[in-house]
């Protein structure tokens, strides 16, 4: 019999589901488990994935929130039956290696975004592999998005939807004022990105790595993590691959509609 470690959010729906599972299964430690079972919404799932990725165990998420892009629909309390019908998706998060020239290690599964923290627009320089791709971006900010995160905040500001197989990440401008037509750039996921804030006092900048926020950013270094891999289990009929393809088709239809 497989060993499970259960982590559920504090919502009423999640707690009710947790009680059902714990009547049938023992809750092993994350280290001794074969699978980590997560119940909650996408935000809670992101939190758990980052905290428990050190155990290198497959995660099976059950949606107890609204959209549940990273989770599965609850079907049955017998987990063995559901797990037999899953496929494994491997995610490579992006990693912040330096903030204000100080070494750090902060991962993001969806995106890292830099945005203005006052009424003033930001004024940024962006380098990829030590070459400037834009010297003077003025606007609300910029984000670096993974394929898994490309359908979230990245899509809402007009960024591209990335396929998991293409090994790309997206740099997307947030409400660019100058240059007006610069929407961003798609780059290889092994690229090193550096972003500089030109005017720290007049134009303060905050950073968000998924749901973690840090303020007063002078400069930041970002890359795809070399060592961290996250194993997500999805029902074969509704995997992350298929969900991303559905979003791509919706975006194509919307483009045709607005032409």
Q: Are 210 and 108 in contact (CB under 8 A)?
A: yes
Active site residue 42: yes
> Which residues, in sequence order, are CB contacts of 127 under 8 Å at separation 6+?
133, 193, 194, 195, 196
Token couple for 127: 């380098």
β-partners of residue 180 are none
Cα gap 158→154, rounded to integer Å:
7
Whose CA is closest to 129, among 51, 57, 223?
A: 223
Cα gap 96→222, rounded to integer Å:
5
Residue located via tokens 């995610």: 91
The catalytically annotated residue of 9, 42, 82, 210 is 42
Eight-class DSSP state of 159: P
Query: Which residues form the catalytic set?
Result: 42
């Amino acid at each position: 019999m497989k060993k499970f470690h259960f982590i559920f959010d504090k919502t009423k729906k999640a707690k009710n589901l947790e009680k059902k599972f714990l009547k049938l299964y023992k809750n092993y430690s994350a280290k001794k488990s074969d699978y980590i079972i997560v119940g909650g919404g996408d935000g809670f799932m992101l939190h758990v994935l980052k905290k428990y990725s050190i155990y290198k165990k497959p995660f099976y998420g059950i949606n107890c929130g609204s959209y549940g892009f990273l989770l599965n629909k609850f079907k049955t309390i017998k987990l063995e039956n559901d797990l037999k019908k899953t496929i494994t998706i491997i995610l490579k998060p992006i990693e912040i290696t330096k903030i204000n020239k100080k070494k750090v290690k902060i991962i993001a599964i969806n995106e890292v975004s830099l945005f203005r923290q006052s009424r003033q627009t930001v004024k940024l320089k962006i380098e990829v592999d030590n070459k400037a791709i834009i010297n003077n971006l003025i606007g609300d900010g910029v984000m670096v998005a993974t394929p898994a995160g490309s359908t979230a905040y990245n899509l809402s500001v007009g960024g591209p939807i990335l396929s998991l197989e293409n090994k790309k990440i997206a740099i997307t401008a947030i409400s660019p004022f100058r240059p007006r037509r610069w929407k961003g750039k798609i780059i290889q996921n092994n690229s090193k990105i550096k972003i500089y804030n030109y005017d720290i006092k007049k134009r303060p900048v905050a950073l968000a790595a998924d749901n973690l926020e840090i303020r007063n950013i002078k400069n930041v270094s970002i890359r795809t993590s070399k060592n961290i891999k996250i194993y997500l289990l999805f029902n074969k009929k509704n995997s992350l691959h298929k969900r991303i393809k559905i979003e791509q088709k919706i975006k194509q239809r919307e483009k045709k509609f607005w032409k």
